[in-house]
Each structure stands twice: as structure tokens, then as C-alpha cells.
A and B are shown apart, each in its own frame.
Chain A
């Protein structure tokens, strides 16, 4: 078999089967460490063997079987006392899954375990990317600008806590599900945002490997929970943001705001898929959560062929709906941006100024004020606000944009 074909097959198997292999082993052996190591060994064996033996007809099955053997070998290798412990642990976890969860899939269990609220947010993100996403520790460390050893420790600590405190490997009960799903979505959105608005001064302004990974994982969760409106909402939101990615940073590495973007450069397929999901949620007639409303707002923006065609009344109406369920000052700030288009910058500025106390350390607050003050001809105050926004902004493309805007002031 030719090398590129085998390489392609291994890459595809890694993308499609990693989570399944880890999840199946985690359930069988009740130990994430064993599952992770055995899965990694199975993929290493595939890299060794497939070029000579050929790609097996069922790569996923082959990998799971190989990984299971590796795990059993490891457990046998360990001392008798440890082996007895493992056996006790296996008995505990090998029980048929309790029918408490409305959805039943090993991968979904893995997602909920990695995103457990007893783990710190940093740990949840790292663990999800490693166990579900299959990224290496080195890749995750690079993504979050952390030393590889520190990231390794973070993941090891999280796995140790899961084991020591006995965080269960299961889908939460229906009563707990909405809160736990929103915890999972928060992890996925954080990964997406870190790619979309990379915060490091030395990183690329948009890191597609992270946004793409977040979308891939959200698609997986959506496939596992097709009835959940917020999962669909988050996926739609990510797709509609990702669709604008190419138009969002200029050739010179400067942020291009929504009103100045070349709408022809948007990814039409992603826009269409996002719109389809938003329509599907609207048709469901179920009251939307925050991700669905945010997706709907993005759908309004991406429906306008020209910024002048934007239906601002609808955008503001959606923000009004969002403010009712999410009282965060950041939502109020974004609403004010839309209000500026409908009622003018003066009304918007009054709304923005009311948020000064809560958002004094947030760059977008100062950037929004700067823009509104500029439109009102108050150049002096606008400049000061741009200065503050530039000081606080971490994203290179955003800093470049803000600097140019400030320097254009009269």
C-alpha cells in the first residue's frame, strides 16, 4: 500500500476514532490514564504496522481491540496489589451503564467527565482537547501559551482528581443535564474564542487550528445530542463567525470590522449551514437560550449582502431578548453597538457610559466608546478612549486596527 494512502488513513482514523477508542477504554477500565496511554499506543502501533500489513477494513475496531490489549498488558505488568485495585475499579465501572442519562454514548460520557464542574476551567479545556480532541500535550501547550511540562502537569492533576474523588463516568441525569451541557458548551466556546480572538501578543490573530477543533468537537456533541437547542445554537454561532474568518483580518494583519468586511469573501457554505441550524431552532418553537439568540443575531448580520441592508431593528430586538436571560454587562455593551445603528451614537453612548464601572478593564468597552465619541465629533475624548483600548487589547490585529483609527482622528 502506498505511503500517502496509509498516512491519510491514519490521520483520518485519528480524527474520527480517537475519542471513540479513549471513551470505550475509559468505560471498560474505569481509568482515563490507562485509556489515554493505551489509545496512544494503539495509534503508534498502527503507524508501525499499517504500511506493511495494509489498512484494516475496520480501522476503528482494529484500534479499539489493539488498545484494549495494550491496556490489559499494562494492568498485568503492574504489581499484584495494583492489579487487585484495578480489578476492583473495573468491577465498579464495568457495571452496565445506569439508565440515568437520556443519551447513551461512551464519547458523551467522556465529554461530561472532562468538563466536570469540580475541575478548574483550564483543566476542563486541556482535558477535553486531549481526551476527546486527541491533541497532543505539546499542541495544547502551544495553543494556550503554556510550557509543555506545565500543561502535562495540569492534565495529570485533573486525571488524578477524577480518579481520587471518583468523578463518575456517565451522562448526567435529565434534571442536571441543562446545567452540565452549558458547562460543556462553555469549554467548547472558550476553545473557539481563543482561536478566534487569540489573546497573545505573539500569536497569529486568528488561529484556525483552534476554531476548527472547537467546531469539530461541537459537531460531535451535536451528533450525540441532536435534540439540544443550545448545542445547535453554539454550532450555528461558531459556523457563522468562522464563515467571516477570511474577511476579518486584512492582508497587512489588521482587524477588519463587520461593517468594512468584503462580504464576498465570506464562506458561503458555512453561512448556509449556520442559517439552516438557526431556522431549524426557530421552527422548533422552543424558547431559545443564549447561544441560539447569539446565533440568530449573527444570522441577521450574515443575511445582509451589504452592511446598509442590515436589519438593525431585529438585531436590537434579539439583544433585548438576550438581556433578559443574560444580565452580563458585555451583552449590554453589544446591544449598545446595535442601538447606535438604530437610534444614533448619542443614545448608544449614554448606554455604554452606564457600564463604565463594570467594564473599565475590558478593551472592547473603550473601543466602543472611542468609536461612538468619534462619530459624535468628540475627538479629544475619543483619542483617550482609543489609547485605553490599545493598552488593554491583547490581539495583534485588533491593536493594529485601533491604532490606525486613533491616528486618523482629527
Chain B
């Protein structure tokens, strides 16, 4: 089963070299223990563009879809047999990136 581990950051946050190094160590662990699926860091909310093409005439809007103090700074997609393992990994991930994280399951087939 796959889980999305979202990294929650505040605008003033910017990753330090120590955090980057800790994230590398954590990523190595995910790979070694076969939990790794995918991960990535994202540009800040000011780099976002919202597109609404529900009507067929796309409307582009500058900025994130929701204005809030906290934003999604990056994520991991992990493979885990159950929530307990996912939570344990997310706990280590939160420590490594020095941010709050949110865990959510992907919907089943």
C-alpha cells in the first residue's frame, strides 16, 4: 500500500544544509528498506499557477489554489504494509526535514 507523506512548511522556512544532509540519509534508508517510491521538493507557493478548464475555456490564475500560512513544500510517496509502519517512517521523515508532515493513504484499486 502506498502513502503520501506531505511536508508542511511556513513561508519563512528554507532548507538548511544540515536538513538536506539528514533528508539524504533518510532517503537512503527508504531505498534500503524498500519503502521508496518517489519524493521531491516543490517550488514555493509564489511559483504556482492555477488552471480551471472545467468549462473548456481555460482560466489561468497566478498563485496557489488556497492562501494559507502553511504550504506544501515537498512530499514522499512510500510503500508500507500498514499505517503503523507508515507513521514510523513519517516520524523519522519529520525529524530529517525538520518540518511537520501529513500522512495520507492512496485510494485502493
Interface residue ranges, A against B (CB under 8 Å): 85, 116, 118, 164-168, 172, 176
Contacts and interface: CB of A to CB of B under 8 A. Distances in A.
Secondary structure class of chain B's binding surface, majority of residues: mixed
Contacts of A172: 84
Contact of A167 (B3, B83, B104, B107): B83
B87 interface: yes
A118 B104 CA distance: 11
Contacts of B107: 164
A116 B86 CA distance: 14
Interface string B65-89: 0000000000000000111101100
Interface of B: 1, 3, 81-84, 86-87, 103-105, 107-108
A164 B108 CA distance: 8
B27 to A, nearest CB: 23
A159 B15 CA distance: 38
**Is the contact region of chain A dominated by helix, strand, or loop, or is it mixed?**
loop
A223 to B, nearest CB: 25
B87 A166 contact: no
A356 to B, nearest CB: 31
Given A116-B83, A166-B81, A172-B84, 5 more contacts: A165-B3, A165-B86, A166-B1, A168-B83, A168-B84
B105 A167 contact: no
Contacts of A116: 83
17 contacts: A118-B83, A118-B87, A164-B105, A165-B3, A165-B83, A165-B103, A165-B104, A165-B105, A166-B1, A166-B82, A166-B83, A167-B83, A167-B84, A168-B81, A168-B83, A172-B84, A176-B84
